[in-house]
Structure 1
Amino acid sequence: MGTEHEETRWIKELLQKVTLARPPLATSSPLVEAVSSRLGDFFIEGTKRQTAYNDSEIQQVSLLLRQANPRWSKLPRTYITLRTIGCLDVLDAFIDLGFSDHWFPLTERGLPPILAPSRRAQFVAAQNLVMTKSLDLEKGDKGEHCRFRHGESLPLEEKGVLGTGGFGQVDRVLSLISFREYARKRVPRSTIFGGRNAENVKRFIAEIEILKRLKHLHIAEFVGSYTDPKYMGLIMFPVAEMDLSTYLARANAASHKDLRTFFGCLARALEFLHGESVRHKDIKPNNILVNKGNVLFTDFGLAFDFTDAEDSTTVSTVNGMTLKYCAPEVANFEPRNTSSDIWSLGLVFLEMAAVLKGRAAKFVYEFLPEHGSRQAYVRTNIDGMRKLLADLRETSYPTDNVVLIWIQNMLMIQPTLCPTAAALTASIIAAGESGNRGFCGICCMTPDDLSDDFDELSIS
């Protein structure tokens, strides 16, 4: 390779940048001197450390670095490894390349080219000093469930509560490894182990196992899970701006364009779920997130995996499910299958349609007690629901009335008359193709498993 090769010049420029940069701890202030001294306690110069660092020690190194060089504080494992092999001078170059502790573990070939070949094997060997269980916490389905003992530090910084539910809490956390923000669902172990609530631990574990294999644009992403002496934790992405219930309460005419696309995207996500042999079992606006114009199903704590079942029909209680949104067969403790999800989504669609038609979502539940059987729930007031659809049909844009047809088909007392999620998605996409308004985002216009056979067009 010649000295003027593009990659060689790029490496030389990075090396010059590091050489010319002022060392982060090379000042004479009392604070920096104190930090430098404390950092020295973690290293024995001239000797090789035999025992691995634990998470608490690594966090202490990060906190010390934050006082002298915040940039370095976000890569404490990289700092320790490079200092151990005497290559701390390339840390800034690593950072410039976008390197982070989240990359561990590394092979020699996976290391940035800025590190000399003679040092690569040393780095790979030294990284074993910082390979703690915390690194597994953000590996998704490729990671392991982490177990933290009493006194062991979690690599998460709490940033505020997002919501509190039946037996747990969801909060915003910052990873001290990748420095990404996540949503964490946390359940006290005292409420899930033993006694009447023993079933809850099964739900929580089932939720983890289901989320691990669900990868879809409109389903919250599984990041990792852990147990510590007090809690079981589930880490998810993204930290959404709000749930659909809040979105509908705040929606105005300017929101309607995005809102229309939610119909197709939610139907496509449900089609994916059912294709993966998963029933959600608790679809409602509070369990649908809205983030940067995207909708995502979340909270699979009641979800049922029927992969190994003879069919998707089961009989169980309504335990935990929101009564307002549950299908008639569920409320009546009768056998149910994927059509119960269709019913629940139909009620969500009904609230969305009310907003599209210039009403508030709560208008649905104000209307029902005044019409039909005067019952508050649609499943016991089908006549009231039909009158509501007729009322909505006469307001606002007629081109939105196609939504009301889907809703009526979804809210059938007889489950076998409800459309499948795939049929529903097809109807929504067809409505857009026939000249009506677009009711599906471009992300969901084609099936999730569409072949790549036609990615390349041949022109004769």
Structure 2
Amino acid sequence: MKVLFKKQLMDSKVEHQLRREIEIQSRMRHPSILRLFGYFHDSDKIYLILEFAAKGEVFKDLNRVHRYDDKTASKHVADVASALHYCHTKNVIHRDIKPENLLLDLNGRIKVSDFGWSVHAPSGKRETLCGTLDYLPPEMVDGKQHNHTADNWALGVLAFEFLTGRPPFEAKNQKETYKKITNLDFTFPNYVSKEARDFITKLLLKDPKKRMDLLQVPLHPWITKYADKPLTNK
């Protein structure tokens, strides 16, 4: 159960995001996406009835271990990629993939959650600057239109953070982060495997059209070498 206070939502002017989150997430049916079964409300609060993710946030788990090994990181990334591909087949762009918005079930498998920034985009193109600073793709930073490949970029950032414990374009302020993103200014620590480097660099490309297709993710050597088979709809 997720409890939200109406006054806080109105004060922050995010009521429309909650409506969109409920509309989109309640329709999602994928083993790596957190189920939203329904909602109800009273005079002060809104209650979301959500699938239980017994092991909590990936963000907390990652902080606990500092960084994931190839096996854990690739397994989680493969599950996120499978969930995102499903979203894209439904013309939904998540737009806020990050460790804080990923949960773990009792078996330690990923559950993508928090669809507050997601959008149903049948035309495929959007212009809103949204999401989390460290995960923004260059086209958003440059004020250009974006499409579902913004999620592909975020998957590359996520893989880097899983393996190193920090996002690739982290900087002391927003301006410096934007500059690093637009210049693709990042370096791999020595311990990152060659397969992981190749995987990440195929996603962190400035040209959205050149980013690795999510259908190619389970076929990439980093995934085939280290990961369990991703969860998919039967």
Q: Shorter-chain TM-score: what band?
A: 0.7 to 0.9
Query: Residue 236 of structure 1: CA displacement?
Result: 0.9
Compared CA separation, residues 196 and 255, structure 1 to 2 (3 A): closer
SS of 1:442's partner is: coil
Q: 2:182 aligns with which of 380, 386, 389?
A: 380
Distance 2:98 2:109 in 1: 16
TM-score of the aligned structures, taking structure 2 as reference length: 0.85
- What aligned pairs does 1:300-379 form with structure 2 within 5 A after superposition? 300-306=115-121, 309=122, 311-318=123-130, 321-354=131-164, 361-362=165-166, 364=168, 375-376=176-177, 378-379=180-181
- What aligned pairs does 1:8-407 form with structure 2 within 5 A after superposition? 183-184=1-2, 186-193=3-10, 197=13, 200-251=14-65, 257-291=71-105, 292-306=107-121, 309=122, 311-318=123-130, 321-354=131-164, 361-362=165-166, 364=168, 375-376=176-177, 378-382=180-184, 384-385=185-186, 388-389=187-188, 391-392=189-190, 395=191, 400-407=193-200
Note if contact 2:32-2:80 (Cα within 8 Å) is conserved in structure 1.
Answer: yes
Query: Residue 334 of structure 1: CA displacement?
Result: 1.4
Distance 1:322 1:413 in 2: 18
Note if contact 1:247-1:290 (Cα within 8 Å) is conserved in structure 2.
Answer: no
- Counterpart amino acid of residue 49 in structure 2: I
Residue aligning to 2:205: 412
Distance 1:254 1:365 in 2: 19
Compared CA separation, residues 428 and 297, structure 1 to 2 (3 A): farther
Distance 1:336 1:189 in 2: 31
Compared CA separation, residues 443 and 325, structure 1 to 2 (3 A): closer
- Counterpart amino acid of residue 129 in structure 2: T
Query: Residue 349 of structure 1: CA displacement?
Result: 0.6
- Counterpart amino acid of residue 188 in structure 1: F
Query: Residue 271 of structure 1: CA displacement?
Result: 1.0
Gaps of 5+ in 1: 1-182, 355-360, 450-460
Distance 2:144 2:74 in 1: 33
Note if contact 1:218-1:265 (Cα within 8 Å) is conserved in structure 2.
Answer: yes
SS of 2:31's partner is: coil
Distance 2:216 2:229 in 1: 18
Distance 1:252 1:187 in 2: 30
Gaps of 5+ in 2: none
Distance 1:317 1:363 in 2: 19
Distance 1:268 1:334 in 2: 27
SS of 2:220's partner is: helix
TM-score of the aligned structures, taking structure 1 as reference length: 0.46
SS of 1:302's partner is: coil
SS of 2:115's partner is: coil
Note if contact 2:73-2:159 (Cα within 8 Å) is conserved in structure 1.
Answer: no
- Counterpart amino acid of residue 227 in structure 1: H
Note if contact 2:93-2:120 (Cα within 8 Å) is conserved in structure 1.
Answer: yes
Distance 1:218 1:284 in 2: 14
Is 2:223 the partner of 1:442?
no
Distance 1:329 1:253 in 2: 28
Counting matched residue pairs gives 230
Distance 2:118 2:68 in 1: 34
- Counterpart amino acid of residue 166 in structure 2: K
- Counterpart amino acid of residue 343 in structure 1: W
Distance 2:69 2:203 in 1: 24
Structure 1 residue ranges, 4+ long, deviating more than 4 angstroms after superposition: 252-256, 363-366
Distance 2:92 2:47 in 1: 22
Query: Residue 251 of structure 1: CA displacement?
Result: 2.3
